[in-house]
Every structure is written in C-alpha cells, then in structure tokens.
C-alpha cells in the first residue's frame, strides 16, 4: 500500500504548523518502510511560516521531513499577496503558482486531504 496525503496549512499560526509537522512525523512513524508521497502545502498567510524568523523553530524538523521525502509547497500568489520574498524561503521549499490549484490537483490524483 502507498500512503498519499497533503497536509494543508493556510493560517500563520505556529501551533497549527507545529501540529501539521507532528501529524506528518506521526504518520511516517506509523508506516515504517511503506511507500509514501506526502506534501505539506502552505497558502494564504501561512506562507510566512516558511521564511525568515518564522521558520527558525521549525527548520530542523522541516529538513528532517524533507530528508524522508516529504515535499513542502508554497503558493506564489500568497507570497506576492503577503509580501514574502522567495529568497527568504527555507531550502526545501517548492514554489507553485497557486496553492488551491495544487490542492485540487493532488486530490484528483488520490491524495488524502488533511487539515490540521
């Protein structure tokens, strides 16, 4: 069995982001050795959590999860809207054109939608 899920974060709330990262780690710990495709997709004001000082407390876990194949996607529209510079994003980020389109695409490909 392959586990496919997208964890959606759209609030600039460190508790929600912390919960999302914990959810991903808990899932990985529950399925050792199993195939998986996991995404953490941030849009809206949440994009700031992947940049500058906001990312600091999460940097180590983000890198650990990325090392386990978790992909972190950030909405370009939200970066522009909330004036977050691409240059300030943490390394393991992928900028996608529109977060909502990304969510729809992943769900159409059979990914479970998880909203911490």
pLDDT at 1 over 90: no
Place of tokens 């997208």: 6
The confidence score (pLDDT) of residue 50 equals 97
Domains and CATH numbers, the chain: 2-114 (3.40.1260.10)
Cβ-in-10-Å burial (0-12, 13-18, 19+) of 34 comes to exposed
Q: Please determine, for residue 91, whether its predicted confidence score (pLDDT) is greater than 90.
A: no
From CA 112, how far away is CA 84, in angstroms rounded?
A: 28
What is the rounded distance in angstroms from the CA atom of residue 38 to the CA atom of residue 40?
A: 7
Q: Is residue 20's pLDDT more than 90?
A: yes
Of the candidates 5, 1, 4, the one whose C-alpha atom is nearest the C-alpha of residue 116 is: 5
Strand order in the sheet with 71-75: 93-96, 71-75, 35-42, 2-9, 112-114
């Amino acid at each position: 069995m392959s586990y496919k899920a997208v964890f959606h974060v759209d609030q600039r709330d460190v508790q929600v982001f912390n919960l999302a990262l914990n959810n991903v780690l808990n899932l990985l710990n529950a399925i050792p050795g199993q195939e998986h495709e996991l995404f953490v997709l941030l849009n809206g004001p949440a994009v700031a959590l992947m940049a500058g000082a906001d990312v600091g407390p999460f940097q180590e876990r983000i890198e650990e999860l990325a090392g386990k194949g978790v992909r972190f996607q950030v909405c370009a529209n939200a970066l522009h809207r909330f004036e977050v510079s691409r240059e300030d994003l943490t390394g393991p980020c992928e900028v996608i054109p529109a977060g909502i389109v990304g969510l729809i695409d992943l769900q159409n490909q059979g990914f479970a939608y998880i909203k911490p």
